[in-house]
Amino acid sequence: MSKQTTPVYSNKYGSVSLFACQYDQRFSYYAYIPKREEGTTYSLAVIVHGDERAAQKFRGSFKDFAEETDTIILAPLFPSGIIEPDDTDNYKFIAFHDIRFDHVLLAMIDEIASKYSIAKDKFLLHGFSGGGQFVHRFYYLHPDRLLGLSIGAPGRLTYLDESKVWYAGIQDFEARFGQAINFAQLKQVPVQLVIGSEDHGSAKPLSDPTATLDTSQIGHTRIERLQSLRDNYEAHSIEVEYVEVPGAGHEPFKLLDPVKAFFKRVL
């Protein structure tokens, strides 16, 4: 880890340059800052990419939302090939080797908050595909930090199931992460599940045999699995908005209109 310092932005507003995270410079982030009067307190929306690592495009796709709602957009970039040259999954499961990706994201938020007045204690969070995997696991760890959560088309899910070990369930969650899940706080977070109506792809399993999922119970396709997650959350008294976008496949930018509408309602 490098010594933490405050980055100096060459362009203070609009599409801010890509910056390395000072907490861990292997990771970086894009931001969009609406230009407002001095003293404005911004909301914050974090948008997490999938395997394609299209963080810059996600940042650009939320500019209209940022301007309409006085919201700063933060789009982290978690590259493939960190520690393991062929790895693409690192951030999706939160903990990878000595890295805690939830801590990396929270450090990025602190860096942005050191430059701008942000209501950072609670923020909006959306992720697509691999990003959808990350954000729902982040939710289990930090529900107190979330103003609203939008989970987009993840393939490999962690259910609130204490009969199964990670990643399929949460039996060993506290042993892995050093904290228990706060179910009361989970229920306080507005949750959206969003997917394309034609997203019938299946998700590859990890090689870890302990993580094997029973597809006869949770489904083979992303749609079936997301419906299983909806049912799992509702069984734990977590209210869920479930959205299928007509005609969309596994296409992140076709899902964003309902995500933005959900975020506006939450704000």
- Mean pLDDT on 117-121: 93
pLDDT at 204 over 70: no
pLDDT tens digit sequence for 16-72 = 999 999 999 999 999 999 999 888 899 999 999 999 999 999 999 999 999 999 999
pLDDT bracket for residue 216 (50, 70, 90): low
Strands 28-33 and 14-20: antiparallel
β-strand partners of 124: 45, 148
pLDDT at 2 over 70: no
The residues, ordered by sequence, that sit 6+ positions from 9 with a Cβ below 8 Å of its Cβ are: 16, 17, 19, 115
pLDDT bracket for residue 205 (50, 70, 90): low
Mean predicted lDDT score pLDDT of the chain: 93
Q: How far apart are CA 78 and CA 99, in angstroms?
A: 11
Q: What is the DSSP string of the chain?
A: -PPP-----SS-SEEEEEEE-TT-TT-EEEEEE----TTPPBEEEEEE--TT--HHHHHHHTHHHHHHHTEEEEEEE--S-SSSTT---GGGGSEETTEEHHHHHHHHHHHHHTTS-B-TTSEEEEEETHHHHHHHHHHHH-GGGEEEEEEE--SS---S-TTS-TTTS-TTHHHHHSS---HHHHTTS-EEEEEETT---B-PPPS-GGG---HHHH-SBHHHHHHHHHHHHHHTT--EEEEEETT--S-GGGSHHHHHHHHHHH-
* Domains along the sequence of the chain with CATH: 14-266 (3.40.50.1820)
Least confident of 10-19, 74-83, 165-174, 224-233: 10-19
Model pTM score: 0.93
Q: Cα-flanking dihedrals φ and ψ of residue 43, to 5°?
A: -80, 170
Q: How far apart are CA 215 and CA 154, in angstroms?
A: 15
Letter for the amino acid at 153? Answer: A
The residues, ordered by sequence, that sit 6+ positions from 235 with a Cβ below 8 Å of its Cβ are: 160
pLDDT at 203 over 80: no
Per-residue pLDDT at 103: 99
Per-residue pLDDT at 220: 84
CB 243 within 8 A of CB 195: yes
Per-residue pLDDT at 7: 54
Per-residue pLDDT at 38: 83
Q: How far apart are CA 92 and CA 259, in angstroms?
A: 20
